[in-house]
Structure 1
Amino acid sequence: MKSKPVRIAFILPERVWAGSVYLTQELLLVAGTLLSASEDIAASMLFEIHLLAAGTARVKSFAGLPIKADLALADSGNYKVVIVPAQFAPTGEMKGHDSAYAGWLTVQHAQGALIVSLNGAVLLAKSGLLNDKQATGPISERAIFARHFPKVRFTPGKRIVVNDQIICCGGINPTVDVCAYIIERFFGQHAARKFVRHTTTDTLQGHEHLAVWSAQFKQHKDAQVLAAQHIVESSLAHMPDLTALAAAVHVSKRSLSRRFTDAVGTSLRSYVAECRLEMARLLLRTTDLPLTLLADECGFGSTSSLVHAFSARFGSSPLRYRQLQPGSSI
């Protein structure tokens, strides 16, 4: 029996980039046709997508293209995913319907929605949801964040930043990667891989891939555990010991171990192991690195340790896994 489509909302602020809306909408729609091998968009739809406006039924993009909203914010209900698209020349001040969008985003996030900024971090920052969090977006917005949103750690050099049910993208290219994450989150790895094979020849860098993959383990509010997770993901090859990791996030070893398990649902040791295995899978899919170098990159002590852990977890040796990837000539 076909599962019910996942509800996704795009908000339509003033001077929205129409391409940001329509490209992402069509990528998410095509995912269903790819999975079902059908051209029937309605029958194969994975996502029920609504375009929402706070004011009039039509919103003009910054280039003057009219975009018709499906619903008003007040009539929209709850969503699993909310997408904040790019705006042309946003400002730090609350203008027009900004306060309505900001309040609505806060409510949706509190009710469990995944919030995705596609270069829409300024509007998202007006909701307060980015306070004390890292975010990314165009470098041209650095001054806006410094002046109006000093509590946000704005890092425009990052392509993707993930924290607390919020994903921020900088630039256009990561749009496909974020769509793949949304597809995998709700419909599994098979659907996501099929989508990626047909929509891009690029791949996320390792640490960015882990940031997106690990979002499923970051749906908690413990800031120090989140900080520890970020350190783990960026330090797989040279992992700090528990003493150094606890010191880096300003808690005791015992407290970190307990709080990590409570927040993430698995022990720190198990989390490190899962991150290493996920990184190994990525490198096997996207590189021709020999196993000796791949084992070093992922933090396994030796090639034999990599082979043993990978085979036990996935039921296939690393080389066999690589051979089974589409396009493999090995």
Structure 2
Amino acid sequence: MTFLQNTPAQEEPIMSDPLMLQEAREFPRLALMQAAHNRDLLRELARRIQRFKPRFVATVARGSSDHAAQFVKYAFETQLGWPVVSVAPSVVSAYHQQLQWEGALVIAISQSGASPDVVEPVEQARKAGALTVAMVNSEDSPLAQAAEFVVPLRAGEEKAVAATKSFLASLTGALQLLQELALDATLNKAMGWLPEALQSTLELESLTKARAERFRFVEHLVVLGRGMHLAVAHETALKLKETSGIFAQAYSAAEFAHGPMRVIREGFPVLCFQGMDETRMLTSAACLALKERGADLSGFGCGLNGESLHDLRTMPTGHRLTDPLPAMVAAYFFAGHLALHRGLNPDAPPSLQKVTLTR
């Protein structure tokens, strides 16, 4: 059975250099600027958090920002030992339930800061005594006004419908706050090295474009990651849906073996993210099991063990928390160029708009 059968319908004119790709290329420079401009603010916020002594952390987000929140969960739990939960926005905005926010550090993440179902939980939490933080690209947004503290993402204007640099800025913003809270010398060194590692990923764009070409007729695809790379797996699957109309589904490499493995047949396409951390060998074993079942496997990341000839290896950064970012930049290039290979415009996905307002 082949999974490269049908040619997708033309939707929007092909662009020679989509905004999505241009904006992804901006991020190494933006990461430096973000760190410089937010340093004093984050030190003040870290002191406030330490005085507050949160019992737990709660994240509030939708879409790509919720994937960033998933990254925050792994980062805070592994570095600080603070449990992190994801709040379902509809519990507040649709079901109108009053939650027990006492002792919570609430981190809301959004590019626009405009969606009511992200704003309302933050308003409720602040009134109930929680410490509320908005990580947002629009500093005059309703979300920024609702929270006690605002951490500007400083990604600049993002015109493409598919978010790239704002998602990455959410990750680096969270890591910059974590630097102030964890006081980890290894993380500090990795954060200093990160812009160079990101810049090196830009040099992989032509190779990524070539890797994407063989997926031009794919209709279904699985994206795997684990631990620190689970969030980028989910974000990649979303971008493939948005820009190419591929039914891409993300799973934890561990959870995939608990049932979803059943869908794998000869030639089924799988993307797998793999870092250098404690999950490396576990993910590698999962990839080998997929190959044995006939999966068409391609890997992204710095911890690849050569399971596939189609792997795209990114530069290691020196820390498990920073390694996923170069892999995500490569994945954005993959998604953008794949859309072009399919004759689609990744900047103008049908039925989608830049800001989605939900309740």
Q: Give me the TM-score of the superposition, normalised by structure 2.
A: 0.29
Bigger Cα Rg = 1
